[in-house]
Amino acid sequence: MSPVLLPGSVDQQGRPAAVGVMGGGQLGRMFVHAAQTLGFEVVVLDPDANSPAGAAAQTQIQTAYLDAGGLAELARRCVAITTEFENVPAEALKTLAQQRPVAPSGEAVAVCQDRAAEKAHFAGCGVPCAPYAVIAMAEQLAAVDEALLPGILKTARLGYDGKGQVRVRSRAELEQAWAELKQAPCVLEQMLPLEREISVIVARSAAGEIVHFPVQQNLHRDGILALTQVPAPDVSAALQQEAVACARRIAESLNYVGVLCVEFFVLRDGRLVANEMAPRPHNSGHYSIDACDLSQFDCQLRAMTGLPLVQPRLHSPCAMVNLLGDLWFDDQGRQRTPAWDQLLALPGVHLHLYGKTEARAGRKMGHLTLTAATAEQALATANRAAALLGLPGF
């Protein structure tokens, strides 16, 4: 087991100890803030010179994720390393782990990066998921059971926020969709009657300590998370306990170290099925910065440095709203600045902007967390905020 890295530690040159993060997006940026709060310096590795995390960190190594020189420099500068992006090559994490503690491990990330491996892992843990078939060659396409249709064809790798997914109702549509996806390895999932979507975030240490955040109830629009509510208003206590137990079992069976999010579908008949998992903090957990006594990024830092993991507590009911790049344009497509001053006049509003230099439709530019004395008040404020921003209500 790696030694505990205490806040305020210094390296052999007497400088503040640095932790590393692979990936420079908004998740990395929020991790940087959490690490700096405890006195750690942060080194980010990302190929983008204008990465949000790189702008907040002490140092950015601007190289490709598999660049040998960049990985060597990250290992030299840091005492422990994590990732903020599930599509960072698992091989890069395995290379870094030869020299430094890396959490999560490349082996765990590799499972999360491949939908077929992920679903096999769910099954191995006894966690139910949607019926599915792996399609990597024409013979597998021809052998697909008609019972899986209608379904959703998903690329096995590199899909996120609804990308790399096609709904198919017939065998002809399935064949066309696979061709459109360039015959990449895919998973066909049976379309199930969904009631709602929820997620569970757990954090686990190398010593096997494991804690979890409250169950999050999520609303997606166009494949992108639009709203998260905590506590989950429409999920029974028994189902919440089942979701937490499943997420813990998945993390333990991976021998996982770090923060892991498991997304679930709640079906109309009340059953729970696992959808997918992310080997990092998750969009649905951003509320934890403002509504919990420990955020998911605090737990990410604690897990990778061996510091104690304490069960996070929700101190304020809340709603979290994603802010996409569409908000930066009016109905005629002209660029504008959203009415932040009016928004910040609302009670319990916490605005987080990610420092991205270019707004684009569908691009995550920031989020709002609305905290209140009750969940009903938080949702009401979220709807007032949506009206000010020109978003549909919740």
Neighbours of 57 (CB within 10 A): 28
Domain that includes residue 31, residue range: 18-102
Q: Tell me whether residue 173 is annotated as binding.
A: no
Q: Any known ligand binding at 169? A: no
What distance in Å separates the CA atoms of residue 34 and residue 289, rounded to the nearest whole number?
A: 9
Has 220 been labeled as part of a binding site?
A: yes
Query: Which of 148, 173, 190 is the C-terminal boundary of a domain?
Result: 190
Q: Residue 324's pLDDT band (boundaries 50, 70, 90)?
A: very high
Identify the CATH number of the domain in which residue 156 sits: 3.30.1490.20
Confirm or deny that 197 is annotated as ligand binding: yes
Task: Write out the two tokens for 368.
Answer: 């709002």
pLDDT in tens, 268-322: 999 999 999 999 999 999 999 999 999 999 999 999 999 999 999 999 999 999 9
Is residue 211 located within the same domain as residue 181? no
- Of 154, 173, 190, the position where a domain reaches its end is 190
Does 252 appear as a known binding residue?
Answer: no
pLDDT tens for each residue of 116-149: 999 999 999 999 999 999 999 999 999 999 999 9
pLDDT over 60 (residue 389)? yes
On whether residue 114 sits in a domain, the answer given is no
275 is in an annotated binding site: yes
How many Å apart are CA 154 and CA 148, to the nearest integer? 13
Q: Is residue 157 located within the same domain as residue 255?
A: no
Specify whether 161 is located in the same domain as 268.
no
263 is annotated as contributing to ligand binding: no
CATH number for 255? 3.30.470.20
Would 107 be classed as within a structural domain? no
Separation CA 177–CA 290 (nearest Å): 42
What is the structure's pLDDT at 160? 63
Position 376 pLDDT exceeds 70: yes
One domain, residues 208 and 161: no
The model's pLDDT over 8-62, given as tens digits with 9 standing for 90+, comes to 888 777 888 999 999 999 999 999 999 999 999 999 999 999 999 999 999 999 9
Are 175 and 287 members of one domain?
no
Planar angle of CA 276, 282, 285, nearest 5 degrees = 120
How many domains does one find in the chain? 3
> Any binding-site annotation on 115?
yes
Q: Is 154 annotated as a binding residue?
A: yes
Same domain, 252 and 327: yes
Got the DSSP string for 146-179?
GGG-SEEEEESSS--TTTTEEEE-SHHHHHHHHH
257 and 348 assigned to the same domain: yes
Quote the CA–CA distance of 253 and 108 in Å, as a whole number: 10
Q: Is residue 9 part of a domain?
A: no
- Regarding whether 322 and 202 lie in a shared domain, the answer is yes
Question: Is 162 labeled as ligand-binding?
Answer: yes
Per-residue confidence (pLDDT) for residue 213, from 0 to 100: 98
